[in-house]
Amino acid sequence: MAERALRGTRLGATSYENDRNTDLAPRQEVDYTCTKGHRFTVTLAAEAEVPMTWECRSCGATALRVDGELPQTKKGKPPRTHWDMLMERRTLEDLEEVLAERLEILRAGRRRTA
């Protein structure tokens, strides 16, 4: 008889408990609006830190909290280019010498093949 009662179900796949007599964690709803005018609500835990921006569910753009202001951008270092890193290791005179050597090697190779 017990086999027939569990037939067709998988152990652990379905919970047979109900939500009666359970308390849910306290929650808060935060409204966001994206630059394209989409407005949506995100439900967060009450003790969670609410971010100022969120990705829009409709278009993927950055949405701003309705009651918030744009976050201040931090000033950072400008990105270093390859030229900047090269100039940290060598001077212009060194680079001119290397260029002259490489040009001489290329010219010598062309003379041999011609």
38 marked ligand binding residue:
yes
- Residues forming beta bridges with residue 88, ordered by sequence position: none
> What is the rounded CA–CA span in Å between residue 19 and residue 41?
24
> What is the rounded CA–CA span in Å between residue 99 and residue 78?
28
Backbone angles phi, psi at 10, to 5 degrees: -110, 135
Q: Which residues of 65-101 are buried (b: 16+ CB within 10 A; e: fewer)?
A: beeeeeeeeeeeeeeeeeeeeeeeeeeeeeeeeeeee
34 marked ligand binding residue:
yes
Q: Which residues are annotated as a binding site for Zn(2+)?
A: 34, 38, 56, 59
Q: Which residues are annotated as a binding site?
A: 34, 38, 56, 59
